[in-house]
Each structure stands twice: as structure tokens, then as C-alpha cells.
Structure 1
Amino acid sequence: MKTSLKEWILAAEFAAIIAVLSQFTIPLGLIPLTGQTLAVGLTATLLGKRTGTYAILIYLLLGLVGLPVFAGMTSGFGVLFGTTGGYLIGFIFNGLVTGAILEKTAFTYSWAIIANTIGAMVTLFFGTVWLKISADLSWQSAFSSGFVFFILPGIIKAVAAGYLGIFIQKRIPSLRLRK
């Protein structure tokens, strides 16, 4: 399936939105609380699986080539291989899962919130596994500091992303990429 110019433009615009929301950061030790996860969920909800994932990949590539788009105006491979790298990789799978659930079910408030909550848990899973490896933590420490601690903020952001995504999509029909 060929990607249209409209899809690429939307992906680029949403990569920029993710970059901007990533700068809303609350430092909390090894892993900060950021606006990235809200932006990733919103992107997948509005753009769907394919274009949403393209936006996330563009965002990650911008950071890897040195543009300061990651949380705290950081960039580079050091961030990807640092303690938060698993969350960044998890964003890709978050976009895929969230978008796939919505495309298989319906773009409604309920399904968007469910899909975003599952997608947020996918991000936390990848982040926790990488945190365990990169910080040489026990599974219990990695799970409590990288997953459990972020469940409530993750659910709050998932609900916000799901609600806002459907709200915006109903008001801006040109964002709809589905047939």
C-alpha cells in the first residue's frame, strides 16, 4: 500500500508535536514523567497504525541524528541506549498496538481510551525491560521504579489522549485517513 503525500505531511507534523510535548518534563530520578506518552497516544489515535507509527519513527530519527527532540532537549544514541531508551522504542509498539486496536474495532471514545491504555502498558513494558538491563537493576526494582510508578500517570495520559484524539477527529474530519 502506497503512502500518500498527505500521510507523510501529517506524520511529519505529528513528529513535531511529539517533540514539543516531550519538553514538558517532570524529573523523577532515573525516569522522568513527560508529555511524550500523551503525544504518542494522541498521534496513534488521530492518525491510526501506519501513519501514526511513521510519525513516531520520524520523531525518533530526528532525535538520533542529533536534534534535541527527546525529553529535556536531549538527543543522540546515548539517550536511546540510556535508561530511558526502552520507553523510546516502546513508543513504536505503542503506536502499532493503539492504532491496530482502533482500526480493528472503532474510533470511539471508549475504544480510544482502551487502546491507549493498552498502548501505554506496552511502552511501560519495553521501558521496564530496558531499564533492568541498562541500569543493571533487579527485576523487582525495575518493575517498581519503571512500571508500577508510572501506571497511574500512564492511565491518566491514555484517557486524555483517547478522549482528545476522538474529540479532535470529530471536529477536523480532514485528519481521517481511513476510507
Structure 2
Amino acid sequence: MRTSRLRTLDLTVTAMFVALMAVGANITSWAPFLQVAGIPLSMQPFFSILAGLLLGSRLGSLSMFVYVLAGLVGLPVFAQFKSGIGVIMGPTGGFLLSFIAVAFIVGKVVEQKKQPTFGTFLLASLIGITLNYVIGTNYMYFAVNTWIGSNMSYSAAWKIMMWFIVKDLAFTVFGAVLAPRLYRAITRSSLHQSRNIA
């Protein structure tokens, strides 16, 4: 009985973050001017980091995996309501794939502490956004210069991403500030449900 109820809770929070990622991906659908070099601004890095902070490595990465899988099988959850393998193979595909690793690593950092502090959440968040940029930008450079068939210097790839870094760092710090209270609330809720089931 306990396992069943916990699985239901797991599915609920996983689905919530899948939905948040879909919403975060499509901000430019309502504000199309929020693009740089054809790459849409999004809230996805923020939500992927928050998933790791609040759900831990297992559920956080699972939610990101389900999000990417949903887009791959045809649900319009990627930026500009796109879907399919073509998006993954495009210049932004590395960022999408990185969200799985980001949530996992961020969750692992938080899980090292029994009582994570703001410093723990901030460190985990900064590691997460760094990982997102490293994987995503290197993938973009590789994709553009191989199967996409264009030319882009490595420095140009990073210059493009500099347009986004202020926004992403600001949201990363905001997430670290927000996370401790949400983390405690989720933890209390989980313990309360476990005791009721027991």
C-alpha cells in the first residue's frame, strides 16, 4: 500500500515538472520577440534545475526524461510547440538532452546533505546551469559544423550563449532562494503522507 501511494505521488510531481517544462519552452509563442540568433529564450534551465533541487536525482531526472520523450514521440512540448527527432538533431538539441543530466547532478548535490542549506542549493544550482551551458553549447557547435552543414567557430557559439547567461544566472539564483522553503514543504508533505499510510 505504501509503495502504491508513493508511486502515485511520484507520478504527480513528475507530471507537474513535465508540464512546467512545456510551458517554460513556449514563452516565445506569446512573446515572439524573445529570441536571440533564432534561439528562443525559455524558462527550461530554471525548471530543470528546480526539478533536481526539489525532487532529487531520481525523480528530477525522470521528469526531464519523460519531457524529452514526450517531445520525441510527437507531443508539441518543445519550443514553439515543436516535436520530433528533428528538434533533438537541431542546434538546441543538446540543451534539451542536458536537462536530464542537470536534474540528476543537481539532485545528487542536494542529497549529499541531510539538511541542505541555502549554500547547498546555490552550489547545486550553479553546477546545474554550468552543465547545461557546457553540454548545450558544445552540442550546438558540433551539430552546426557537422550534420547541419554550416560553419560556426567555437568562440562564436559561446558568444551567442552570452546573450542568455544574465537571464539564466538570475533565475538560477532565484531558484536557489526559492528552493529551501519549497523543499521543506515537500519533505513535510511526504513524511506526513508516509505516516498516514503506515
With normalisation by structure 2, the TM-score equals 0.80
Give the one of 15, 21, 36 matched to 1:12. Answer: 15
Secondary structure of residue in 1 paired with 2:91: coil
Q: For 1:1-179, what aligned pairs fall within 5 Å after superposition?
A: 4-5=6-7, 6-25=9-28, 26-105=34-113, 106-136=115-145, 137-146=152-161, 148-172=162-186, 173-174=188-189
Give 1:30 deviation, angstroms.
Answer: 3.4
Letter in 1 for 2:179: G
Map Cα deviations across residues 75-124 of structure 1 (whole Å, 9 max, x no partner).
11111110100101111111111111111135322211221111011011
The alpha carbon displacement at 1:37 in A equals 1.0
Indicate conservation of the 8 Å contact 1:117/1:154, yes or no. no
Contact 1:44 1:99 in 2 (8 A): yes
Deviates further, 120-129 or 106-115: 106-115
2:37/2:160 contact within 8 Å kept = no
Deviates more, 1:150-159 or 1:92-101: 150-159
Tell me if structure 2 keeps the 8 A contact 1:116–1:159. Answer: yes
Given that 2:36 and 2:163 are in contact with CA atoms closer than 8 Å, whether structure 1 keeps it comes out as no
Q: Given that residues 48 and 100 in structure 1 are in contact (C-alpha distance below 8 angstroms), is that contact kept between their aligned partners in structure 2?
A: yes
| Partner amino acid, structure 1, of 2:111 | E
Cα pair distance change 1:76/1:112, threshold 3 Å: same
Q: What per-residue deviation string (whole Å, max 9, x for no partner) do you get for residues 13-52 of structure 1?
A: 2211221222223211132220111111111111011100
Contact persistence 1:49–1:100 (CA under 8 A): yes
CA RMSD of aligned residues (A): 2.1
- Give me the whole-angstrom Cα distance separating, in 1, the residues matched to 2:65 and 2:42: 18
Unaligned runs of 5+ in 2: 29-33, 146-151
Paired residues of 2:26 and 2:81 also in contact (CA < 8 A): yes
Displacement of 1:54 after TM fit? 0.3
Q: TM-score scaled to structure 1, two decimals?
A: 0.88
- Number of residue-to-residue matches in the alignment: 175
Q: Which has the larger radius of gyration?
A: 2
Unaligned residue ranges in structure 1 (runs of 5+): none
Give percent identity, aligned residues only: 31
Give yes or no for contact 1:46–1:175 (8 Å, CA) kept in 2. no
